[in-house]
Structure 1
Amino acid sequence: MHTIYAAADPIEAEILRSYLAQHGIAARVFGAALWGGRGDLPLDAWPRLVVDDQRDVEPARELLRRYEHRRHAQASWLCGCGERSPVHFEICWACGLERPTGP
């Protein structure tokens, strides 16, 4: 097993597990059950993503770098319906259309 990411919370860990799965990378979440013990237990209670296959480590880390970049970007995109959505949204929050791929 190879730890590739320490998530902020169990929800983010599951979102990222699903994100990797959409790109063909099988990952598992470890430590999510310890989340409630933060502060009370003398251990690292951050949920973490792990992959079993060494070949998936670098592709997964690259996808997670992209996720981090988009998460911190303040940019938005304009949908055909006229609404603006944060750049990390894949679909328009108002109408559900996919984000355009061009500039």
Structure 2
Amino acid sequence: MHTLYAAANPLEAEILRAYLAEHGIRAQLLGAGLWSGLGELPADNWPRLMLDDDSQLAPARELLRRYEHRRHAGASWVCACGERSPVHFEICWSCGHERPA
């Protein structure tokens, strides 16, 4: 298995695992239980996403690159209903329509 991503915390790791799963990429979350010992244990305790199938490395990295870009962008998008949503929202907070490509 290949370490794909070291998340900031277990919540972010689980969100990303689900995000990848929505796109047909299976990954496991390892080390989430060790995260609580961060700073106390002499080890690298970041929660990690591990790919089940290393042949999916390229598409997984591309999805995570997009996630990082949205995470750090302060931009927003405008839905067809006219409401503005943060760029990291996949659907409109107001009407539930998907963000345009």
Answer yes or no: same fold by TM over 0.5: yes
Write the letter of the residue equivalent to 2:10. Answer: P
Gaps spanning 5+ residues in structure 2: where? none
In structure 1, what is the equivalent of residue 70 of structure 2? 70
Percent identical across equivalent pairs? Answer: 72
Q: How does 1:35-74 map to 2 (within 5 A)?
A: 35-74=35-74
Aligned-partner Cα distance in 1 for 2:9–2:41: 16
Aligned-partner Cα distance in 2 for 1:52–1:39: 29
In structure 1, what is the equivalent of residue 6 of structure 2? 6
In structure 2, what is the equivalent of residue 30 of structure 1? 30
Superposition misfits of 4+ residues, deviation over 3 angstroms = none
Aligned residues: 101
Q: Give 1:5 deviation, angstroms.
A: 0.4
- Structure 2 SS opposite 1:3: strand
Deviations 1:38-92 (A, max 9, x none): 1111111100000132201121111111111111111111123332111111111
Q: Tell me the TM-score normalized by structure 1.
A: 0.90
Deviations 1:4-35 (A, max 9, x none): 10001100100000111111111000000011
Aligned-partner Cα distance in 2 for 1:30–1:80: 40
- Structure 1 SS opposite 2:29: strand
